[in-house]
Amino acid sequence: MRPNRFHGWAIVLFAITLLALFGCEKLEQDSPTGVDATIENHDFGKGPLPSILISPPDIVVTTASDVADFDGAQQVGDLPGPDGVVSLREAITAANNSAGPNVIGFNIPTSDAGFDGSLFTIQPHPEQLPILGDDGTTIDGASQTAFTGNTNAAGPEIFLDGNLIDPNAYSHGIGIGSAANHIHGLAIGGFSIGVGIGGDRVNDNFITGCFVGLAPDGATAHPNRMWGISAANFISGIRIGGPTPEERNVLSGNDGYGIFFANYLQHGTIQNNYIGTDASGLTALRNWSGIIITDHCQDVLIQDNVISGNLYKGIGLRLAHDIRIEGNLIGLDAQKNVLAGNQQQGIAADGGQEVEVISRLAIGGAAPSQSNLIVGNPQAGIVIGAQLTESQITGNTITRNGTSGIHVYGSATANTLLISRNLIHSNFGVGVSVLGPGSGYSISQNAIYANDWLGIDLAVDYCCQDGVTPNDPGDGDTGPNNLMNFPVLTSAKATNGKLIVKGTIDTPNPRSVTIEFFANPVPNPGGDPSGYGEGAIYLGSARPNPQGKFTATLPPVAPGTLITATATDAEGNTSEFALNLAAAGPGDK
- Considering the domain architecture, whether residues 76 and 211 belong to the same structural domain is answered as yes
Are the CB atoms for 54 and 138 separated by under 8 Å? no
Q: Which amino acid is at 526?
A: G
Q: Which amino acid is at 527?
A: G
pLDDT at residue 291, rounded to an integer: 98
C-alpha distances (whole Å) from 345 to each of 149, 363, 402, 461 are: 42, 14, 9, 20
Are the CB atoms for 550 and 505 separated by under 8 Å? yes
- Considering the domain architecture, whether residues 424 and 524 belong to the same structural domain is answered as no
- Considering the domain architecture, whether residues 312 and 384 belong to the same structural domain is answered as yes
Q: What angle do CA 404, 410, 413 make, to 5 degrees?
A: 155
Alpha carbons within 13 A on the beta-carbon side of 214: 34
Judge whether 457 lies within some domain: no
Judge whether 127 lies within some domain: yes
Judge whether 269 lies within some domain: yes
Instruction: Report the Cα 479 to chain-centroid distance in Å.
Output: 30
- CA-CA distance, 18 to 236, in Å (whole number)? 35
Judge whether 473 lies within some domain: no
Residue ending a domain, choose from 386, 407, 428: 428
**How many separate domains does the chain show?**
2
Structural domain harbouring 413:
25-428
Residue ending a domain, choose from 428, 444, 459: 428
- Tell me the β-bridge partners of 133: none
- Considering the domain architecture, whether residues 222 and 316 belong to the same structural domain is answered as yes
- Considering the domain architecture, whether residues 253 and 148 belong to the same structural domain is answered as yes
- CA-CA distance, 406 to 400, in Å (whole number)? 11
Q: 382-384 and 406-408: which strand pairing?
A: parallel
Instruction: Give the N- to C-terminal CA distance of the chain in Å, as an integer.
Output: 87
- Considering the domain architecture, whether residues 414 and 536 belong to the same structural domain is answered as no
- CA-CA distance, 112 to 123, in Å (whole number)? 14
pLDDT at residue 78, rounded to an integer: 92
- CA-CA distance, 160 to 187, in Å (whole number)? 6
- Considering the domain architecture, whether residues 118 and 254 belong to the same structural domain is answered as yes
- CA-CA distance, 222 to 254, in Å (whole number)? 8
- CA-CA distance, 61 to 304, in Å (whole number)? 34
Alpha carbons within 13 A on the beta-carbon side of 205: 31
- Considering the domain architecture, whether residues 305 and 407 belong to the same structural domain is answered as yes
- Considering the domain architecture, whether residues 325 and 176 belong to the same structural domain is answered as yes
- pTM here is 0.91
Judge whether 522 lies within some domain: yes
- CA-CA distance, 276 to 306, in Å (whole number)? 8
Are the CB atoms for 499 and 487 separated by under 8 Å? no
Are the CB atoms for 331 and 372 separated by under 8 Å? no
- Considering the domain architecture, whether residues 492 and 424 belong to the same structural domain is answered as no
Hey, how many other C-beta atoms are within 10 angstroms of the C-beta on 96?
21
- CA-CA distance, 223 to 41, in Å (whole number)? 22
- Length of the chain as a residue count: 589
Judge whether 130 lies within some domain: yes
CATH code (residue 270): 2.160.20
Q: Which residues of 181-215 are buried (b: 16+ CB within 10 A; e: fewer)?
A: bbbbbbbbbbbbbbbbbbbeebbbbbbbbbbbbbb
- CA-CA distance, 580 to 489, in Å (whole number)? 8
pLDDT at residue 387, rounded to an integer: 87
Which of 300, 293, 294 lies closest to 268 in space, CA to CA? 300
Judge whether 439 lies within some domain: no
- CA-CA distance, 401 to 422, in Å (whole number)? 14
Q: Is the dihedral of CA 141, 142, 145, 147 positive or negative?
A: negative
Residue ending a domain, choose from 380, 399, 428: 428
Judge whether 12 lies within some domain: no
pLDDT at residue 437, rounded to an integer: 86
- Considering the domain architecture, whether residues 421 and 490 belong to the same structural domain is answered as no
- Tell me the β-bridge partners of 542: 515
- CA-CA distance, 268 to 235, in Å (whole number)? 9
Q: What is the DSSP string of 135-157?
A: SSEEEETTHHHHHH--S-TTS-S
pLDDT at residue 319, rounded to an integer: 92
Q: What strands, in cross-sheet order, belong to the sheet with 447-449?
A: 120-122, 158-161, 186-189, 211-212, 250-251, 274-275, 306-307, 329-330, 373-375, 397-399, 423-425, 447-449
The beta-strand segments (E) located in 367-482 are: 373-375, 382-384, 387-389, 391-394, 397-399, 406-408, 414-420, 423-425, 432-435, 439-444, 447-449, 456-459
pLDDT at residue 442, rounded to an integer: 97
Per-residue pLDDT of the chain (589 residues; tens, 9 = 90+): 323 322 332 222 222 222 222 233 344 333 333 233 323 334 455 554 555 556 789 999 999 999 998 877 889 999 999 999 999 999 999 999 999 899 999 999 999 999 999 999 999 999 999 999 999 999 999 999 999 999 999 999 999 999 999 999 999 999 999 999 999 999 999 999 999 999 888 999 999 999 999 999 999 999 999 999 999 999 999 999 999 999 999 999 999 999 999 999 999 999 999 999 999 999 999 999 999 999 999 999 999 999 999 999 999 999 999 999 999 999 999 999 987 778 889 999 986 555 678 999 999 999 999 999 999 999 999 999 888 899 999 999 999 999 999 999 867 677 899 999 999 999 999 999 999 888 999 999 999 999 999 999 999 765 566 799 999 999 999 999 999 999 999 999 998 899 999 999 999 999 999 999 999 999 999 999 999 999 999 999 999 999 999 999 999 999 999 999 999 999 999 999 999 999 999 877 6
CATH code (residue 536): 2.60.40.10
- Considering the domain architecture, whether residues 420 and 493 belong to the same structural domain is answered as no
